[in-house]
Amino acid sequence: MFLNLETVPSFYKNYVKLITEPDVLIALRVSGYRTLELIHSIPPAKADYRYADGKWTIRELLCHMQDAERIFAYRALRFARNDKTVLSSFDENSYAPEANASSRSLKKIADEMQHLRTSTLDLFEAFTEEMLARKGHINTNELSVSALGFIIAGHETHHRRILQERYLNQAPH
C-alpha cells in the first residue's frame, strides 16, 4: 500500500520523508537490509562508543530502534484488528536504560534485529488492503496501519543515518 504524506502527523513526517520506496513491504525490506549491513560493519570495540556526553552508546541506540519497531508493530496490529482503544505514547529515554544493551554483543543485537524485522514483515504481509487502511489513535494522533509500517522504516532510516554520520563518520545511503 502506498502512503499519502498528508495523512501522517507532523511528528512522524520527518521519518516517513526519508523513505523513497512507494510500497510499505519494500520499504521495510530495504531499510532492514541496509541497517543490518551497517551493523555488521561496526567493529565490536566501538559498541559502547557515544559521540557526545549524554548520548546513547551504539548498542543503546540499536536497542532503542528495536523497542520502537516492536511498539509501532504492536500499534499496527491493534489498529489492523479494528481495536478502537486510544493508545498512549512511550518515553524512549526511560526505556533505553532498561534495555540491558551493555550485556549484549553487536552480533546478538543484529541477529535479534533480523528476527524482529522478519516478524514485522510477516505481520504486514498478512494485512489485507482494508487492514492497511484502518486507522487508530495514539494520544491525539490518528495513524493508519500502513503509515505505521512506513514510520518503522523511516525511524530506522533516521537512526541509521545518525549512526553513520555521528558515530561512524560515514556518508549515509
Instruction: List b or e across 134-150, with b for residues whose CB sees 16 or more CB atoms inside 10 angstroms.
Output: bebebeebebbbbbbbb
Q: What is residue 87's three-state secondary structure?
A: strand
Calpha distance 33→37 (Å, rounded): 6
pLDDT tens-digit readout, 149-170? 999 999 999 999 999 999 998 7
Residue 172 lies in a domain: no
pTM surpassing 0.85?
yes
CATH number for the domain harbouring residue 121: 1.20.120.450
Q: Summarize pLDDT for 83-141 with one digit per residue, the tens.
A: 999 999 999 999 999 999 999 999 999 999 999 999 999 999 999 999 999 999 999 99
Residue 130: CA atoms inside 13 Å, Cβ hemisphere, count? Answer: 2
Q: What is the pLDDT of residue 15?
A: 95
| Mean pLDDT value of segment 31-58 | 96
User: Residue 145 is placed in which grid cell?
Assistant: 496501519
What pLDDT is recorded for position 10?
86
pLDDT at 132: 96
Number of domains in the chain: 1
Is 133 a member of any domain?
yes
Range of the domain at 11: 5-167
Residue with cell 514483515: 121
Any domain includes 173: no
The CA distance from 96 to 65, in Å, is: 10
CA 146, 149, 155: angle at the middle one, nearest 5? 135
Is position 103 within any domain?
yes
